[in-house]
Structure 1
Amino acid sequence: MRCTLGVDVGTSSTKGVLVTADGTILASATRTHDVSRPRTGWVEMDGRVWWDEFVGIARELLSAVKDAEILAVGVSGMGPCVLLADDDDEPVRPAILYGVDTRAAAQIERMTAELGGSEITRIGGSVLTSQAGGPKIAWVADEEPDAWAGARRLFMPASWLARRLTGAYVLDHQSASQVSPLYDIENERWYEPWWKQYAGTIEEPALAWAGDIAGEVTDAASAITGIAAGTPVITGTIDAWTEAVSVGAHEAGDLMLMYGTTMFMVFTSAVATGEETLRTPSMWTTAGAFAGTRNLAGGLSTSGALTAWLKDLTGTDYPQLLAEAVDSGPGANGILLLPYFAGERTPIQDPDARGVIAGLTLEHTRGDLYRAALEATALGVRHNVETMRAAGADIRRIVAVGGGTQGQLWLQVVSDVTGLVQEVPETTIGASYGAAFLAATAVANPGEEPLITEWNPIAQTIRPDAGLRDLYDTLFDRYVRLYEGSKPVVHELAAAQRGEAV
């Protein structure tokens, strides 16, 4: 059976799929894992786990489909992450994860002062925030000199898998553009002056596009994984962008909403048609997954993580909580929740933001709380969408993807709160499917490349309830004002959580 293998390393699990030439999923496998939070604001993971889980998934899938002939391998992973390794490709410390890790605040401040905020935006596309990879590299240099002394290479999950499979040291342009400010977004290359200044001892990865072939599976990797030596492996990219590929939401005017542990949004514009690269200090400007595209992206630090927290806190399963949230109804009986339980990324860019639950009374139920949590993530999405549009994003189509799309209530709440129509594709397994598609495209004969619209057609359309517009307009106004009004006290609490004198 001729097929492609797609594997994605996510925040809470690694997923893999075997997919036929027409997009049919033959088998899937998952390995769950935990991230480490050794201090407030730190989120990291042992990068060696990524390879171990890839190997286990590959062997499980090959065992499940005995006659599988893997034509190509697709890789993907969370990001931007900073995994520094030595000359022998051994990690010198755990990988520092994307914007949920907020440890590099001092480096962000110092680099912005040294380079100038406007110059950083001109070269790299975005102001420096907790999402940027450059300050995290600088943090290791400043705070862990022993680890820094041995660091020679920079990896993210996809590039780490490509390295272990093929020996290639390569990073895709999209991921590289999030190692801000070390990448020149307009010229699509590393920005040498700043790379030398902040990452001088690190060898620059070669740059390629997500669907380009990085190399072929080596004999050594074949013996470990069971994948035939010589099998092509694509370069891959960050999971949110691979998810956009998996549902065809990567054309100019498309916005992808990724429902997962965190919520992510990617809007695509085509610079090849003369559209300007959009920039706003509230969002992230990046290279696209494909040549000739740019993205304006944003993300909530918690979404599925928040609902999981409530599930664990109440000792209740999701079906029961969802049923109770339906009974609660729009507006959650007067509860308003700020979802900033792990700080917040866009559009407020505030690592010291914290969760707030306002309006509680003794009459409120766990169903009200769960409903308020769903509405809070939807309000966060609306805040991002309105910020994108204010920056000039012409959003013409919205596609939902990710595990959270399995819950009809969450989808409907997001459409009701935002006023957006969402298209939901037939397959929402996510980035691993997109990685398999990119792999299939990479090895297809010219003119015979697969079409994602045939692999993964739209299955349903979610439309907002116009009757709820006034309610959610009012709630959104209160949401924004609640953050601004509570920010001084919340920032004091965040400092106290770090053990700082307030």
Structure 2
Amino acid sequence: MGLLLGLDLGTEGARVGAFTEDGTALGSVHRPYATSFPRAGWAEQDPEAWWAAVVDAARTLLATDACRAAGPVLAVASATTASTVAVLDADGRPLRPAILWMDSRASAQAARTAGLADRHPVLAWSGGSDASEWLLPKAVWLKEHEPATWARAARVVEAIDYLTFRLTGRWVGSQMNAVCKYNYDGLRGAFPVGLYADLGVADLVERLPDQILPVGSVAGPLTAEAAAAFGTAPGAPVVVGGIDAHVSLLSCGASDDVVSLVSGTSSAIIAEVDEPTETTEIWGPYPHALRTTKWLVEGGQVTSGSVLTWAAENIMGVARTDLSTLVEEASRVEAGAHGLLALDTFMGNRTPYRDARLRGAVVGLTLGTTRAELYRASVEAVACGTKGVVDSFERAGVACGRLVFSGGIEKNRLWQQVTVDVLGREVEVVDGDNLTLRACAVIGAAGAGLVSGLDEGAAAYAPRTRTLTPDPARHALYRQTYADYVGLMQALTPLMHASVDRLAAR
């Protein structure tokens, strides 16, 4: 008897959850940390704040009666935001703030990768180029713009790598992050040293984790230092996790045609396929990123829930505790009757446009525009962005038989229903569960030998869901809204590019 501990390092804070051996949730604790935005398009966090939040949350959770009664910690598994890059000295101490996933400062460096696709076939697994979010373009930017920091840096790693180091004292990387975010060759088990050299960072390899292991592998035992901080015994296996949204596939239940849509601050849309598919609209197919028998494909929105937060909290001054009132007001606004059209690309577009220089927009404003109308238009923009990704999956031949929604969208009924109406198809919404933490339980169980592998764990730990259906009349209206959304994106793209380039040149 014992418990499985899951650590979820998100954009706004760390959440730690505990599960019994049969997958019953024992509770979770969240602790926030701050994000700074020092320049337009930049976003940074303090890695030490991540660890402090994880320790506080874990210690609080493990002290509860439910966790004490469950027994010792049998395994620890983690998942974090991807492409959040920590720059550290030889002892793992930060040399500068971590560059957050949504940070788009490395767009010029990412653009260079497109010109190297013919020389480096590994780029075919990312659709022919890297995104500005990813570790490799950010590393190139760091070496070019902060050479002194680069020279001092012993490690340039993903957030998941940093967390694993704090838990085990070992530099072990997740194969998922390595394949998806710094072009590791999952078929050969090798770093693309030639690609790194052509981008001027041949010395990046020595700054990455010493060992890359598949999801579900044991990175090492929980150290005495980490265990003392958590208030538990040392020695439990620390199992290699991965990207928060990507591992969510493991907690959607066993299915060959499932697409996981994790919508919170951003939205990640993830699926696995048996054979690679060629597309330049989505990321992947990544070999052996999650399950070593599958290829993983990835799409998403850089900003989704964060757009709604901007509209409600930043622009309208609505406190988060009063958000339900605004959502109710916006729910009473008729679709197609407010005259507004918005774009959700506040920090660029992840897919299908793959353009870091796009920005947000709202057109149709009048002096009579209400806050409810503006909020509804923002929700509709985010829903249109989601449709763009799902459509790109289907164009690439990815089976989208089951769509499973989770994350912050689960708390916003308007966001859920508008998305379903824009898509025009049924979706399943996870009912009161955190799929990332549940996936960590699956991963921990596999690493501890409680299940035979990730597939058995996925089947055993499936969550409860409820089904939402679209309204045919609203879907008919939203077909025009989506067409207008695409047209506005095309019309404004040259202006947005010019504006971003002028700011970058200052």
Secondary structure in 1 aligned to 2:278? Answer: coil
Does the Cα contact within 8 Å between 1:159 and 1:235 map onto a contact in 2?
no
**Pairwise CA distance, 1:476:** 1.0
For residues 475 and 90 of structure 1, do their structure 2 counterparts lie closer, same or farther at Cα, with a shift above 3 Å needed?
same
Distance across 2 between alignment mates of 1:50 and 1:113? 36
| Matching residue of 1:92 | 95
Change over 3 Å in CA distance of 1:473–1:125 after alignment to 2:
closer
In 2 relative to 1, CA 115–452 (structure 1 residues): closer, same or farther, beyond 3 Å?
closer
Matches within 5 A, 1:442-481: 442-445=447-450, 451-481=457-487
Q: Which runs of 5+ in 1 are unaligned?
A: none
CA contact (8 A) 2:111 2:129 kept: no
Instruction: State the distance in 2 between where 1:31 and 1:446 align.
Output: 30
Q: 2:252 matched to 1:243?
A: no
1:369 corresponding residue in structure 2: 374
Q: What is the 5 A alignment of 1:118-157?
A: 119=121, 121-122=123-124, 125-157=127-159
Tell me which amino acid in the other structure corresponds to 2:351: T
The 5-angstrom pairing of residues 23-172 of structure 1 reads 23-65=23-65, 66-67=68-69, 68-98=71-101, 100-113=102-115, 116=118, 119=121, 121-122=123-124, 125-172=127-174
The residue number in structure 2 matching 1:295 is 296
- Measured against aligned partners, the alpha-carbon deviations of 1:403-454 in whole angstroms (never above 9, x if no partner) come to 2212222111111101231112334323123212311232134559864455
Indicate the residue corresponding to 1:284 in structure 2: 283
CA contact (8 A) 1:123 1:186 kept: no
Shift of 1:167: 1.9
Question: Offset at 1:117?
Answer: 7.8
Q: How far, CA to CA, are the matches of 1:386 and 1:120 in structure 2?
A: 25
CA–CA separation in structure 1 for the residues paired with 2:49 and 2:502: 33
Contact 2:172/2:212 (CA < 8 Å) preserved in 1? yes
Q: How many residues align?
A: 492
Q: Could you list the per-position Cα deviations for residues 79-111 of structure 1 after superposition, in whole angstroms to 9, with x for gaps in the alignment?
A: 12222322222222222222x211112322344
Structure 2: how far apart are the matches of 1:283 and 1:224? 41
- 1:454–1:427: structure 2 CA closer, same or farther, 3 Å change rule? farther
Q: Which amino acid aligns with 2:154?
A: R
Shift of the 332–235 alpha-carbon distance from structure 1 to 2, 3 Å rule, reads: farther
Residue 147 to residue 88, structure 1, CA distance change in 2 (3 Å): same
Q: Write the letter of the residue equivalent to 1:34.
A: A
CA distance, structure 2, for counterparts of residue 335 and residue 148 of structure 1: 46
Distance in 2, matches of 1:50 and 1:199, equals 29
Task: Provide the residue aligned with 1:309 in structure 2.
Answer: 310
Residue aligning to 1:228: 233
Paired letter, 2:174: D
RMSD: 2.3
* Among candidates 420, 424, 427, match of residue 425 of structure 2: 420
Instruction: Kindly provide the CA deviation profile for residues 463-492 of structure 1, in whole angstroms up to 9, marking residues without a partner as x.
Output: 112223321111111110011112222333
Name the counterpart of 1:4: 4
CA distance in 2, matches of 1:253, 1:146: 48
> 1:116 Cα shift?
4.5
Distance 2:464 2:196 in 1: 43
Partner SS state of residue 180, structure 2: coil
For residue 302 of structure 1, give the secondary structure of its aligned residue in structure 2: coil
- What amino acid sits opposite 1:278 in the alignment? T
What TM-score results when the alignment is normalised by the length of structure 2?
A: 0.91
| Residue in structure 2 matching 1:353, options 330, 352, 358 | 358
User: CA shift at 1:458, angstroms?
Assistant: 3.4
Answer yes or no: is the 8 Å Cα contact 2:299–2:352 preserved in 1.
yes
Partner SS, residue 124 of structure 2: helix
Equivalent AA in structure 2 for residue 279 of structure 1: E
Question: Residues 176 and 448 from structure 1, CA distance in 2 versus in 1: closer, same or farther, beyond 3 angstroms?
Answer: closer
What does 1:399-418 correspond to in 2, within 5 Å?
A: 399-418=404-423
What are the equivalent positions in structure 2 for 1:479-494 lying under 5 Å apart?
479-494=485-500
* 2:291 is equivalent to residue 262 of structure 1: no
Amino acid at match of 1:483: M
